[in-house]
Amino acid sequence: MLHVAACLWDATKASQKFSLCYDESWAEKLYRGFARHLTMPFRFVLFTDRPRKFAEAIEQEPLERKPPDYGCMIEPFRLNVPTIIVGLDTILVRNIDHMAHYCLTQTRVALPDHPTKADYGYINAVAFVPAGNRAVYDEWRGENDMEWLRKRDVNDALKLWPGQILSFRLQIGKGKPLPDDVRIVYFHGEQKPHALHNERWVQKAWR
């Protein structure tokens, strides 16, 4: 079965200003986004620093790293099952069954390359993880999550699905319509969905 994984922890000294907004409601909106845009069953697993209450069918897994920091995005790899790993500020806008099928049938992790900097390397705004990739976690010694993943032999998700995974800040922007092919929009930096009250597509998809 496909798994979807994300992480949530209370802000720490390592937390940057742009990530102080996250709480349980973000996980629930993310769960509902996957429920709307997958036709197959899935388990949603939230890696978290403490037990939390949810109205949705969100399972919880304790974070092992204490205090947690952004490197904790490596922890979902210990599930060792077909998994899509995303940040809480990810919005799904169309069906992603084909992306889930990749996780269920392939062997190599797929990550998007940086959308505008060719020499920047892969980023883990969203990770498509087939079963059998637990070594990504087992061999991790606390390195920066993106730097650690760049050392792995991965596929480029942007070449697998051109135009379907976009950065809001770098490729869409405020007041712009969504491209027809986009399926997943990720956010990084200061701009987050909860502040985009005038973006109709955000209000429709992030609920």
pLDDT tens-digit series, residues 37-65: 999 999 999 999 999 999 999 999 999 99
Residue 18, pLDDT > 80, answer: no
More confident: 33 or 16: 33
- Stretch 167-173: mean pLDDT: 94
Among residues 99, 101, 97, the alpha carbon closest in space to that of 111 is found at 99
∠58-74-158 over CA atoms, to 5°? 90
Going through 9-146 in order, the beta strands assigned E by DSSP cover: 42-48, 58-62, 83-86, 90-92, 110-111, 126-129
Is the pLDDT assigned to residue 201 strictly greater than 80? yes
Q: How far apart are CA 74 and CA 180, in angstroms?
A: 32
Average pLDDT over residues 144-153: 94
Residue 14 has pLDDT above 80, yes or no: no
Q: Partners of 45 in the beta sheet?
A: 5, 59
DSSP assignment letter at 58: E
Token readout for 16 is 């940057």
With cut-offs at 50, 70 and 90, classify the pLDDT of residue 129: very high
Distance CA 97, CA 33 (A): 13
Q: How far apart are CA 186 and CA 87, in angstroms?
A: 8
pLDDT at residue 13, as a whole number: 79
Say if pTM beats, i.e. exceeds, 0.85: yes
